[in-house]
Structures are given as C-alpha cells and as structure tokens.
C-alpha cells in the first residue's frame, strides 16, 4: 500500500508537544486503569468523526458541539467503565462537567476539551470518582504517557492498541501517534460519512488546518474503522479525534505533502482497525472479505457486509469449515444485483465457487487456508468494475461467553 514504517511501541505522545496519562479513578470493579488524558501544550487544529447512532451518548453530543463551535482543541479526557449513554439531561451535564473540570485543572477554556466514554450504557457517571480521576490524570501527564493512556481506555480489549509513524514532507519530518480501543459492539454498517467506530485518538506535530484534517478524517475513517465488523452492532459512543499541534514546525505545504500525510494517517488508522478485529471479542480468525467486479461500490459493499456479518459464515470459520454455501447464501440475500451464474469465490488463492457452483478444489487445500489465523475471501461478481472490502472476525464460544456474562 505504501512504505511508511509503523512503530507499534509508539503512541499519542510520540509526536512533539503532546503529553498523556492513564490512571485508575475507580470506575471498574476490576480495579484496572479507567481514565486517560491527552493534552497538547499548543492549541491544535483538529478533525473529528462520531457515531451515527440515534442514541448518541452524552460525551458524543458534547464533543460534537465543541468540535463544531471551536476553532482549536487542546485536550481529550476519556473514561472506560461507563458509557454515559442514555443518561438524559443529567448525563449531558456530567459530560460537559468532565470537560470543565479538565479545563480548570489545565487552565484552558472548556471548549478546547473533548470527552469520550466507553462502558455500560444507561448508568449515570459517578462524578466524585470522575473528579478525582481528572485531577490525577492531569497531575500524571507526561511526554511518555501514551502507552499508559492506551491501556486505560480498554474495556473487553485484551491488548492495548497504539502506534506511531514518521512522514517525510517537503519541509521535513513529522510524526503521527495514535491509539484506539474497542473489540465488541463493532459494525461497519455506518449510515453517514464522516464516520467512525469506537474510540480513536490521533496526534501529530504536523501543521494542518481544520479543513485539511476534516477531509482527511472523513476519507481515512471511511477506509479503516468503517470497514471493520466484529458483531454487527454499532455503538452509541464511537469517536475519532485527530489533533495537530504543528510543534514540528513542518506544515503540509503542497498537494504532494497532503497526499503523503493522508496516506500515512490512513495507514495508522488501518493498522489500528486491523488490531481491533484481531482482538475482536473471542475472535480466532481475521478474515478479509474482498468483493470485486461489482456493478457499483454500493452493490460490492452490500455483498461484503452480508458475508462479513453472516453468523453462519462466522461460525463456519471458527470451525475451520470452508462451507462456501453459507457465503453464496449471504451474497444471495444481500440485496445486491448480480448474475449468480457468473459468481466466483476464492479462499486466498484457492477457488471454491466457479460460475456459481462448486469449483472442485480439494477440501484438504481449503482446510489448510481455514486453519490460518488470517485469510481472505474474494468474491468476483463479474458484472462491473467496482469493489469494496471489509475486515471481519469469526464468532466463537468465547464471544458468547464474553457477551452472555458481561453483565455479571
């Protein structure tokens, strides 16, 4: 795709001028870290994308307003353990209060702070705990706190997800840092653009305008977080924030710089999206669904998402069963128009469906592919030149266990 070197030990504090912290306020029974703060010494240009769920959580509503009304952002406060969703006027006031408390501690306007929350829906925020957590998070801000921040936003995640990469622009080198969380309630079927899934924070010391960033966030989320699914359930709290403080002294100076930066940003988001699916609740497989030669991108997307969200396909993959009948059944009910007699399907390089029927590849070859941790399903519709891809996971006993027992 491109040749940037991704450093998975990097984080949101890899770019110049950013500090972060991850602390334990006490929101989780487990006693794990539950609050993160990302802060820039300088005002930041920004881009943002939020869930299109009708029940957008209070922090999403507040952050959306701050992003819409503000010229710059300086900080993002994040908590895990409570989603502050479906909490009414009190929840909205609490989300606003989280920005105010953070702003007061940092000595900046509260309009320059955005907030994100993840955890159980429908429970009011315990504001005393939050208040203590914010004080603690500010006191522990440090220029190498990015990994701690990434750890503290995890819910059912089993690994923290963070990275950094460097981009050589005409004026010099800039750095991108990023972190994300979320391995359940993950669905690519997003109704509006710009759009995102779960919580992702990207920092950069590159100089960019809000306009430049907004366009890039729209395109990059559309080809990363909007392409993944774990369980087909979209969240009430999905948030992506990109902060650019210009601390490198290097600006996006021309179209070529913009292209370079955008492709690096997209790569960062795709690598994190991949990590989310790899870490999908109970997932044992990472599957790329690639639909090609469709009559339109919309048709290709219907097909890709039908297969990616098919419970029968996902359980078959868990069982290392190449059962292509379930793939064609999903294509058949996707709503996309195509000639079933022209459809070919492949597992990696092995054909399983040729002209809508069995391609005759030996089960033993297919079994080899299905036993891999990662494989690709390619669908050729052969009635056009549009395509679309989605990343998905299998559904295992562990997925059911996690989500049947989450409550208790």
Q: Which residues are catalytic?
A: 197
Name the helix (H) or strand (E) containing 275: helix 255-278
Residue selected from 3, 5, 29, 341 as contacting a copy of itself according to rule CB under 8 A: 341
How many Å apart are CA 14 and CA 166, to the nearest integer? Answer: 10
Identify the three-state secondary structure at position 19.
Answer: strand
Nearest to 63 by CA among 199, 224, 220, 217: 199
Structure tokens at 389: 């891809």
> Is there binding between residue 52 and a copy of itself (CB under 8 A)?
yes
Task: Please give the residues from 68 up to 97 whose contact with a copy of itself meets the rule CB under 8 A.
Answer: 83, 85-88, 91
Task: Decide if 381 contacts 344 (C-beta within 8 A).
Answer: no
Residue selected from 48, 242, 330, 369 as contacting a copy of itself according to rule CB under 8 A: 330
> Is there binding between residue 371 and a copy of itself (CB under 8 A)?
no
Handedness of CA 147, 2, 297, 391 (dihedral sign): negative
Stretch of 70-78, 106-114, 311-319, 371-379 lying at the interface with a copy of itself (CB under 8 A): 311-319
Stretch of 149-157, 162-170, 214-222, 349-357 lying at the interface with a copy of itself (CB under 8 A): 349-357
Q: In angstroms, what is the minimal distance from the CB of 27 to a copy of itself?
A: 16
Residue selected from 42, 100, 321, 365 as contacting a copy of itself according to rule CB under 8 A: 321
Contacts with 31 (C-beta within 8 Å, 6 or more apart), sequence order: 24
CA 75 from centre of chain: 20
How many Å apart are CA 298 and CA 310, to the nearest integer? Answer: 18
Task: Please give the residues from 145 up to 164 whose contact with a copy of itself meets the rule CB under 8 A.
Answer: none
Residue closer to a copy of itself, measured from CB, 8 or 55: 55
> Is there binding between residue 353 and a copy of itself (CB under 8 A)?
yes
> How many Cβ atoms from other residues are within 10 Å of residue 384's Cβ?
15
Residue selected from 6, 72, 93, 123 as contacting a copy of itself according to rule CB under 8 A: 123
How many Å apart are CA 271 and CA 408, to the nearest integer? Answer: 32
Structure tokens at 77: 């406060």
Give the HSE-up count for residue 67: Cα atoms under 13 Å, Cβ half-sphere: 24
Q: In angstroms, what is the minimal distance from the CB of 113 to a copy of itself?
A: 25
Residue closer to a copy of itself, measured from CB, 231 or 271: 231
Stretch of 147-155, 171-179, 255-263, 393-401 lying at the interface with a copy of itself (CB under 8 A): 393-401
Handedness of CA 259, 261, 265, 268 (dihedral sign): positive
Residue closer to a copy of itself, measured from CB, 108 or 330: 330
Q: In angstroms, what is the minimal distance from the CB of 59 to a copy of itself?
A: 15
Residue selected from 63, 94, 310, 393 as contacting a copy of itself according to rule CB under 8 A: 310
> Is there binding between residue 295 and a copy of itself (CB under 8 A)?
no
Cis before 194 (ω within 30): yes
> Is there binding between residue 26 and a copy of itself (CB under 8 A)?
no
The owner of tokens 């030990």 is 9
Nearest to 181 by CA among 221, 204, 151: 151
In the chain, the largest separation of any two C-alpha atoms, in whole Å, equals: 68
Q: In angstroms, what is the minimal distance from the CB of 225 to a copy of itself?
A: 15
How many Å apart are CA 341 and CA 390, to the nearest integer? Answer: 24
> Is there binding between residue 357 and a copy of itself (CB under 8 A)?
yes
Stretch of 27-35, 63-71, 227-235, 270-278 lying at the interface with a copy of itself (CB under 8 A): 227-235
> How many Cβ atoms from other residues are within 10 Å of residue 354's Cβ?
15
Contacts with 259 (C-beta within 8 Å, 6 or more apart), sequence order: none
Q: Give the single-character DSSP code of 155.
A: S
> Is there binding between residue 122 and a copy of itself (CB under 8 A)?
yes
Residue selected from 109, 131, 171, 332 as contacting a copy of itself according to rule CB under 8 A: 332
Residue closer to a copy of itself, measured from CB, 32 or 61: 61
Residue selected from 93, 104, 129, 312 as contacting a copy of itself according to rule CB under 8 A: 312
> Is there binding between residue 323 and a copy of itself (CB under 8 A)?
yes
> How many Cβ atoms from other residues are within 10 Å of residue 142's Cβ?
11
Distance between the two ends of the chain, CA-based, in angstroms? 43
Residue selected from 209, 333, 371, 374 as contacting a copy of itself according to rule CB under 8 A: 333
> Is there binding between residue 397 and a copy of itself (CB under 8 A)?
yes
Residues that bind a copy of itself (CB under 8 A): 52-56, 83, 85-88, 91, 120-123, 184-185, 187, 189, 191, 231-236, 309-312, 315-316, 318-319, 321-326, 328-338, 340-341, 353, 355-358, 395-397, 399-401, 403-408
């Amino acid at each position: 795709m491109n040749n940037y070197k991704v450093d998975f030990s990097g984080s949101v504090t890899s770019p110049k001028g950013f500090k972060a912290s991850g602390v334990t306020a006490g929101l989780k029974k487990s006693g794990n870290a539950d609050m993160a703060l990302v802060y820039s010494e300088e005002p930041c240009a920004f881009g943002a994308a939020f869930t299109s769920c009708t029940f957008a959580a209070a922090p999403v509503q507040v952050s959306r307003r701050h992003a819409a009304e503000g010229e710059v952002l300086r900080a993002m406060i994040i908590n895990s353990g409570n989603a502050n969703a479906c909490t009414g006027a009190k929840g909205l006031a609490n989300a606003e209060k989280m920005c105010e408390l953070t702003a007061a501690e940092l000595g900046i306007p509260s309009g320059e702070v955005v907030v994100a929350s993840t955890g159980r829906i429908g429970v009011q925020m315990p504001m005393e705990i939050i208040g203590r957590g914010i004080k603690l998070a500010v006191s522990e801000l440090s220029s190498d706190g990015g990994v701690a921040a990434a750890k503290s936003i995890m819910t059912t995640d089993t690994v923290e997800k963070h990275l950094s990469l460097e981009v050589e622009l005409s004026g010099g080198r800039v750095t991108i840092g990023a972190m994300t969380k979320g391995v359940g309630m993950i669905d690519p079927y997003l109704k509006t653009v710009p759009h995102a899934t779960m919580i992702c924070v990207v920092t950069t010391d590159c100089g960019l305008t809000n306009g430049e960033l907004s366009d890039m966030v729209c395109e990059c989320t559309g080809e990363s977080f909007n392409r993944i699914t774990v369980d087909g359930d979209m969240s009430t709290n999905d948030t992506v924030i990109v902060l650019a403080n210009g601390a490198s002294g290097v600006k996006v100076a021309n179209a070529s710089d913009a292209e370079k930066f955008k492709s690096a940003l997209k790569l960062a988001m795709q690598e994190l999206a991949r990590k989310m699916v790899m870490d999908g609740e109970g997932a044992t497989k990472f599957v790329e669904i690639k639909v090609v030669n469709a009559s339109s991108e919309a048709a290709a997307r219907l097909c890709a998402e039908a297969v990616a969200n098919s419970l029968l396909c996902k359980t078959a993959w868990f069982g290392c069963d190449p059962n292509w009948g379930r793939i064609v059944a999903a294509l058949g009910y996707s709503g996309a128009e195509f000639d079933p007699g022209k459809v070919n399907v492949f597992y990696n390089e092995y054909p399983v469906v040729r002209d809508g029927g069995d391609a005759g590849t030996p089960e033993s070859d297919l079994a080899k592919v299905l036993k891999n941790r990662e494989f690709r399903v390619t669908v050729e519709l052969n009635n056009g030149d549009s395509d679309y891809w989605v990343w998905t996971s299998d559904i295992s006993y562990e997925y059911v266990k996690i989500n049947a027992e989450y409550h208790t």
